[in-house]
Amino acid sequence: MSLGLLIDTSMMGVSLAICDFGVGEIKWKYSHPEQYGSAAKLSQLYQQGLLATGLRSADMSKLLVSNGPGSFTGIKVGLSWAYGFAVSNPQVKWLASSSLAAAAQHLCRNKAGKGPLLVFLPSTKTHGYAAHIESPDGEVKTSLVQAGHDKGPAGPLLSLDLNTQIFWAGPWEKMQTYLSNQGNEQKSLTPPELLEAGLLGMHDMAVKSPEDAWSEQFPAPNYLRKSTAEERLEAQKGALLK
């Protein structure tokens, strides 16, 4: 057996799974989209998973955690818990990935007609994240997207053709207004659908990752942007320098 954990607190709420990566089996899983409070219960949820499977922490050898992009607080919570778990269980090796990218790849393989796909994850009224994939086995590209002006999105957003299917991981009025006349097929993901796609996509990634991809080195967060507080501080510094 190759037992391990999947952890995602970066998109919304919390997702946790205990898996046997050797045979590609999810032995136990839990997801809840509630933004506040769920991630703080990670240890309690993990204990529930151990009881349900009859396993121990000493049985775990791998840990795949989402390092973003997504919620700043969620990324920090997930990585902090995973770091504490790995320190307490030195036999565990790490792998970090984007749950947003994993969700996009899973949706492309299973629900989107195998064509180009774009998943938007709103962050604020003007900023959000996008995961773009051209084909089921293609590379997923994640980017920061800004929709704060009348000319449409700014940032490294790839130009869309009519074959690109758009999935919304939450309401984003500015971007949805801009894209409403583009003619692309668009669908809204419910929170459980988003979390399920992210968890299953991460599981696929863990199963297919070679042994040398797992490391003892602590993964870095992938924020893609500065926090609101940092942006305000920079704006204040810029105003003082003028």
Question: How far, in Å, CA of 63 to CA of 61, rounded?
Answer: 7
Closest to 195 in 3D by CA, of 2, 57, 9: 9
pLDDT at 163 over 90: no
Position 131 scores a pLDDT of: 94
Residue carrying structure tokens 């045979």: 23
Q: What is the pLDDT of residues 90-100, one digit of tens each?
A: 999 999 999 99
Q: How much is the pTM?
A: 0.90
**Sheet-wide strand order for 117-122:** 141-146, 127-133, 117-122, 165-168, 186-188
pLDDT at 24 over 50: yes
Tokens standing for residue 112: 């989107």
Whole-angstrom distance, CA of residue 49 vs CA of residue 56: 10
| pLDDT at residue 65 greater than cutoff 80 | yes
DSSP state of 170: S
SS3 at position 158: coil
Burial 29-64 (b: 16+ CB within 10 A, else e): bbbbbeeeebbebbeebbeebbeeeebeeebbbbbb
Residue 35: which of 81, 77, 83, 91 has the closest Cα? 77
Domain tally, the chain: 1
**pLDDT tens for each residue of 120-160:** 999 888 889 999 998 888 999 999 988 755 445 554 454 56
Average pLDDT over residues 153-182: 76
Q: Which two tokens stand for residue 168?
A: 């919304």
CATH number of the domain that residue 163 is part of: 3.30.420.40
Which range, of 28-32, 209-213, 215-219, averages the lowest pLDDT?
215-219
> Which residue range(s) make up the domain with 155?
1-242
Average pLDDT score over residue span 29-46: 85
